[in-house]
Amino acid sequence: MRDLATNIIDLSAFRRPYVGNAASPFRYPGGKGFLTPLLSAELAKRFDGSRPNFAEPYCGGAGAATNLLLAGEVEQLFLNDADRRIYSAWRAMLTETDRFLERIMSVEVTLTTWDDALIRLYETSLPDYDFELGFATFFVNRTSRSGVVIGSGPIGGYSQEGRWKIDARFNREALAKRVRALGALRDQVTLSCQDGLEFCRELAQHQKLSSTFLFIDPPYVGAGGRLYYDGMSEDRHRDLANWLSAGNAPHWLLTYDDHPLVRENYSKFEQNLIDVGYSLSRKRSEKELLYRSSIS
Ligand SMILES: C[S@@+](CC[C@H](N)C(=O)[O-])C[C@H]1O[C@@H](n2cnc3c(N)ncnc32)[C@H](O)[C@@H]1O
């Protein structure tokens, strides 16, 4: 049986020059900043010292991608997320950096700002891009219990009587430093806002995928609808598996929640498990599946 062949990847075996999600200004449920050392080792094996492009079709907080960019290990980043809120946040940070920095320093970190921001995020018709939407997304991400999660309240609760208050994760200086550092590298980042598989297909048309690494961290099959504003149908998860199985991209690594559908979709690839330390308010540690293209 395939399951018996599952490898457990010991992440402590990889050098750890990066600290968690250090470069990304986001807190992210399921964020993969902690995989940076493993991804770095993977790039070294595959690209023999030359700097590849790095693409994240479901980028969220792009924890690993931004760590690798700042470390100078990748040439061009392609970040895509179907959620216009996330896209607007990235675009606002990278293309209106000074305005974003000014707002980080001046925004009142209060329940009123949190309420106003949340109302903006829940608007039914969202613009393609909007600075205010982007900043509201970032603000809610930094001041809510679980980052960008539907239904999670402000840090410290509505009464603000807890030990942690709403500004516990809003260290202005530290956040400004991250945004400034990424803003300075904006020429190396290409942003887009579309379905992840469409993004992969388009990338394949415009880039040489032989020099591009795809790090694919789709919304969870099991809890996707609960954690993120945008989710994926089971058919869409299958389409992605078919696209990868067809050999369209030579270099990819994929992480997923441990779900029977995922095990079935990727049964022809070597199956690995990794420990995922969640930094959500409900602290839990689970295993996720990890697959990767073979190295030819
Ligand atoms: C597991 S998170 C990615 C976390 C990211 N790797 C990190 O380190 O922060 C999945 C992301 O996929 C996005 N998403 C959901 N459905 C999508 C789709 N069909 N196409 C592209 N992105 C999608 C969600 O908005 C969410 O940001």
Question: Domain of 31: which CATH number?
Answer: 3.40.50.150
Task: Identify whether 118 is part of a domain.
Answer: yes
Single out the residue in 138, 153, 181 at which a domain terminates: 181
Instruction: Spell out the residues 6+ positions from residue 284 whose beta carbon is closer than 8 angstroms to its own.
Output: 278
Contacts of 172 (CB under 8 A, 6+ apart): 104, 105
The response to whether residue 29 sits with its C-beta less than 6 Å from ligand 1 reads no
Distance 286 CA to ligand 1 centre (A): 19
Same domain, 213 and 257: yes
**Pocket probe mutation, ligand 1, options 24, 228, 289, max atoms within 8 Å of Cβ:** 228
- CA distance linking residue 234 with residue 264, whole number of Å: 12
Same domain, 268 and 125: no
The answer, yes or no, to whether any atom of ligand 1 lies below 6 A from the CB of 257, is no
User: Same domain, yes or no, for 143 and 17?
Assistant: no
Q: Which two tokens stand for residue 174?
A: 């530290």
What is the 3-class SS of 67-129, one letter each residue? HHHHCCCCCCEEEECCCHHHHHHHHHHHHCHHHHHHHHHHCCCCHHHHHHHHHHHCCCCCCCC
Task: Say how many domains are in the chain.
Answer: 2
68 and 203 together in one domain: yes
Q: What is the pLDDT along the chain (296 residues), one digit of tens a residue?
A: 345 467 888 777 776 655 555 899 998 766 898 899 999 999 999 998 899 999 999 999 999 999 999 999 999 999 999 999 999 999 999 999 999 999 999 999 999 999 999 999 988 888 899 999 999 999 999 999 876 656 679 999 999 988 899 999 999 999 999 999 999 999 999 999 999 999 999 999 998 899 999 999 999 888 645 556 667 889 999 999 999 999 999 999 999 999 999 999 999 999 999 988 654 444 455 789 999 999 86
98-127 b/e (C-beta count within 10 Å ≥ 16 → b): eebbebbeebebebebbeebbebbeeeebe
Range of the domain at 293: 1-82+194-296
Whether residue 188 is contained in a domain is answered as no
Write down which residue in 160, 181, 202 finishes a domain.
181
- For ligand 1, whether the C-beta of 291 sits within 6 Å is no
Q: Is the pTM of this model over 0.75?
A: yes
For atom 13 of ligand 1, the residue with the nearest CA is 58
For residues 84 and 139, give the distance between their C-alpha atoms in angstroms, rounded to a whole number: 15
Same structural domain, 75 and 200 = yes
Q: Ligand 1 centroid to 244 CA: how many Å?
A: 17
Going by alpha carbons, the residue nearest to atom 19 of ligand 1 is: 195
Whether 196 is in the pocket of ligand 1, judged by its Cβ within 6 Å, is yes
The answer to whether residues 203 and 71 belong to one domain is yes
Q: What is the pLDDT of residue 162?
A: 82
Which helix (H) or strand (E) element contains residue 256?
strand 252-257
71 part of a folded domain: yes
In short, whether 54's Cβ falls inside 6 Å of ligand 1 is no
Nearest atom of ligand 1 to the alpha carbon of 33: 8
